[in-house]
Each structure stands twice: as C-alpha cells, then as structure tokens.
Amino acid sequence: MWRRSRGRASLFAVALAVGVGGARCGGASPVEVPKPVTAVSLMLSPEKGREFPFGQVVPAIFTLENLSDRAMVVCRIQPVTNRSEEPIGLAGTVYGSLAKDDKTDTYSHNVMSQRATQLPFYVALLLPKQKVCVTCRYRPLFTTERFSVSYATAKAKYDGTAQSLAPFTVYVLKTGASRSPRMAYEPFRQAAWQELSKARHVSPPGPGVSTRGVLIPDFRAALRAEEHEVSVEFTGQAFGAEKALALAAKIAKATPQQIDLAYSAALGGYVVAAGDSAWLLSRPDQDAPGKPLGRLPVELLRDVDTQRDVRIRVGDKQEGFGPDRRLAGWKLWGAYPVEYGDGMYTRGEFVRIDKTNLAAFLEQVRKSKFALKTYRYYFGSRYFILQAPKKRLPARPPRP
C-alpha cells in the first residue's frame, strides 16, 4: 500500500523553532513561529501487491515529489531506523566516458568505453510538483521506517528557463538523436525535459542510467536533509524490528541505541550485535542470547538471501583468466571447494557460500576466530574476504 511520509524538518530548524517559541519577555505574548516547510515528500511501496513479505528483500518503489516552487535535485535516501539497509544513491558515475564539445556546448557519453564516467549522473532532478519513482531492492523491517532525504534546491522560483535552475547547470539527453553507442547531452530546455521526465521510474545510476539522468557539472549546491516516516504493512505474522530491538536490548541488558540488528532469512532471524558479541534472535518469546555468531558484514546476510551464492576470498593465488570455473585443488577446512577468480575483477582463491551452508560456515569462522570483511568493485559489486587475525589460513595440500 502506498504510504505518504510525515516530513520532519532539519535538526537546526527544529531547535530554532523550540528556542524562539519557548521564549517569553516579561508579559509579552508568546512569539508565534511558523512551522518548517516540507520541501519533498516520500512514499514507499512494494512493486507488487499492497504489503511487504516480512524478512525478504523485494523490489520496492520509493516515490519522491517536489512540494516547493523551486527546482530540486534529490541525491540520497538514507535509512535511519533500518540501519542494516544501504543508502539509495540517486547520483553516481555510470559505465562509459564523457567528452565535452565546447563549441556546441554538449557532452557526448560513449557507453562503449571500459571505465566509469568522469562526472556523476543525477536521476532525481525535480521541477515543482514533479515526481520520480525510484525502483530498487529493499528489506523493510519496521512497521514505521524513517529515512533521511538529502537534496539541494535552486536559488529562485522556477519560471521555465534554464537560468531559474541556478546554481545548477543542467545538461539533458538530446531528444530525437541517436543513442548508441554515443549519446549527446545538451543544455536544459523545458520542452525536452517534459518529454524525458515522462520516464518516472528510474533505478539508482550505475552501471547504466535512465534517460531521465542528467549531468550537472560543478555541482556545488549545499545539501539539506529532511527526515520522513513511512508506514509499512507486512503479510502474515511478522516479528517486526520494533519488538525485536526492545527484546534484544532486554536480553543484552543494554539500551536499544547500543544494539545493531540485521535480518537473515537464511539463518531464520535477526543477527544481534551488542558490544563485542553477536547472536541470533529468532523468536518473540526468546529470553536469552541465541546461537552465537562472529561479527560479520551485514551485506553478507543480504547477498546470501538474494543470490544463488556469494564468493569469499580465502587465498591470494590466481591461475587462469576468464569466467569459467577453475578448481584450485583444495578445500577450505576440508569442506568447501576452492576455485580461482576470473583474473580480472576477482583475483585469488574463493569459496562459494549459499543459504544451505551459511550457518555451518559462520560457525567455523567463529570457532577459528577469523574475521570477514567486504571488498567492493565495479559499481557496487562485491565479494568478501576471510581474514585470520594471527595465523594463516589452512595450507593447501601438496599437489600430486
């Protein structure tokens, strides 16, 4: 179900309102302070149906609307309550290269260049009363989720001209021109933008970008932040994070602020991190710490739940090149076959972990006192690295 947010002003605005509104001078009447104006609205919905399946990462739609009379660029949606979910970036580089033609004042985007563009693209330029629907995969956990929306606005009221977008200098995709393998971006024109902005559904930029993506060279506008609350409805019985957080704090004898929660469908519950310990919370009637777990990246839990398997690097040796699977001839802890990376994006020796063996693998990591960390490459792609704090990984058996 679509849920409109309840916008919150920035901390500075709230503090200012409280400070002035609470002041009294002798017998003077209280000063009436206008409520802070919400410039942007936020709604959250599952892509299919009216309710979110609890504990699952599913396609979701974040709808942003510009409520002001000025143009704005929304750059980021940051989960506040659901801290295990990653920020949703609405500005970023994409695959290819950019070249500027100063004579025609246009940019050319060559999508065949094997690199990241020198400038970011922005997919949430919003004129007054415009909306954009951002589609991405998301796992809500709270019945009320709070987000911080970061944006920048133009200095003056929008009047249909490129000048009223200042300080933004905006280049939009040239309509009616060839789009492969080079796409041309020209200075903003309202008529062209009206056509391009019909593509209301966009994904975060990288490696590709929507036709709604624009270039804004020398983006120097100051960002503002508004907090928004959205209500979430779940299908069936849900062990919501509000209850889980309060229960975990009670069990750990800590405050909710000292607890980190992340959900794992593969493990069947919440991974609770409190101080130096981590354990599994799987039932609303639980009264003691559950199965102990080592500290691990929350991205690992998400990736195991959404992918066939995840790769974990366990050694540095690399043989061969290409996507075909090449076994290294040994098994980690005698149980997990080791294979080589592709030699380009992934170099070294890797094991693959999936839903069926995640729990056993994490138990072995914990008992061995190893650590896991995230390694990112190529527009958010990632794998994980197994690290031994004081001793090396088990040696490979000698080759026959």
Q: Which residue(s) pair with 138 in the sheet?
A: 58
* Predicted local confidence at residue 395, as pLDDT: 58
The residues spanned by each domain of the chain are: 3-231, 239-293, 296-400
Q: pLDDT of 207-240, one tens digit each? A: 999 999 999 999 989 999 999 999 999 998 899 9
Query: Has residue 23 got a pLDDT over 50?
Result: no
* Predicted local confidence at residue 235, as pLDDT: 92
Mean pLDDT for the chain overall:
88
**Cα–Cα distance, 179 to 201 (Å, whole number):** 19
**Cα–Cα distance, 138 to 136 (Å, whole number):** 6
Q: Is 234 left (phi over 0), alpha (psi -120 to 50) or beta?
A: beta
Cα-only R_g, the chain: 25
Query: Has residue 180 got a pLDDT over 80?
Result: no
CB atoms within 10 A of CB 128: 15
* Predicted local confidence at residue 373, as pLDDT: 95
Nearest in space to 3 (alpha carbons), one of 226, 201, 233: 233
Strands annotated E in 26-160 = 40-46, 52-53, 58-66, 72-79, 88-89, 91-92, 97-101, 106-110, 121-122, 125-126, 131-138, 144-153
* Predicted local confidence at residue 6, as pLDDT: 44
* Predicted local confidence at residue 317, as pLDDT: 95
* Predicted local confidence at residue 43, as pLDDT: 97
What is the share, in percent, of the chain residues with pLDDT greater than 90?
77
**Cα–Cα distance, 380 to 374 (Å, whole number):** 11
Q: pLDDT of 74-122, one tens digit each? A: 999 999 999 999 999 999 999 999 999 999 999 999 999 989 999 999 9
Helix (H) or strand (E) segment spanning residue 349: strand 349-353
* Predicted local confidence at residue 238, as pLDDT: 93
Q: Are strands 310-315 and 214-215 parallel, antiparallel or unpaired?
A: unpaired
Backbone angles phi, psi at 291, to 5 degrees: -50, 125
Query: Has residue 397 got a pLDDT over 80?
Result: no
The CA angle 236-357-298, to the nearest 5 degrees, is 65
